[in-house]
């Protein structure tokens, strides 16, 4: 059958209902798959995007500070990736991705 999930994407608004590590809100694959070392350090693996953004350091919920090398590199890449994100007052919602690249809210 057809995989309808391929045509639907979460449109992040206030980020309260979107999981930082486990939802595809910023990229596909999820952040836990892009940054596995950081995900392993995370204490709150089900943190919302909003709660993670309230932590201005982005590392307060880690078991420890990322170590030099791969962990530190992944942490800097994560910071660079989330830096342009601006939280909205609109609730999170699902959108249907149309062939033309337009979106239809659900």
Whole-angstrom CA distances from 40 to 20, 29, 44, 47, 100 are 14, 16, 10, 14, 38
Q: Is residue 58 part of a domain?
A: yes
Does residue 68 or residue 97 have the better pLDDT? 68
Q: Is residue 3 part of a domain?
A: no
Q: Is residue 52 part of a domain?
A: yes
Could you report the per-residue pLDDT of 37-79, keeping only the tens digit for each?
Answer: 999 999 999 999 989 998 888 999 999 999 999 999 999 999 9
Number of folded domains in the chain? 1
Select from 90, 83, 94, 75 the least CA-distant residue to 35. 75
pTM: predicted TM-score of the whole model, two decimal places: 0.72
Print the domain residue range for 58.
Answer: 15-87
Q: Is residue 104 part of a domain?
A: no
């Amino acid at each position: 059958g057809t995989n309808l999930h391929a045509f639907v994407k979460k449109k992040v608004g206030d980020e309260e209902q979107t999981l930082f590590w486990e939802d595809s809100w910023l990229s596909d694959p999820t952040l836990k798959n892009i940054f596995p070392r950081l995900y392993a350090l995370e204490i709150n693996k089900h943190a919302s995007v909003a709660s993670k953004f309230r932590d201005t350091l982005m590392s307060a919920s880690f078991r420890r500070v990322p170590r030099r090398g791969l962990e530190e590199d992944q942490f800097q890449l994560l910071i660079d990736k989330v830096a342009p994100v601006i939280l909205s007052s609109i609730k999170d919602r699902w959108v249907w991705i149309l062939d033309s690249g337009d979106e239809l809210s659900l």
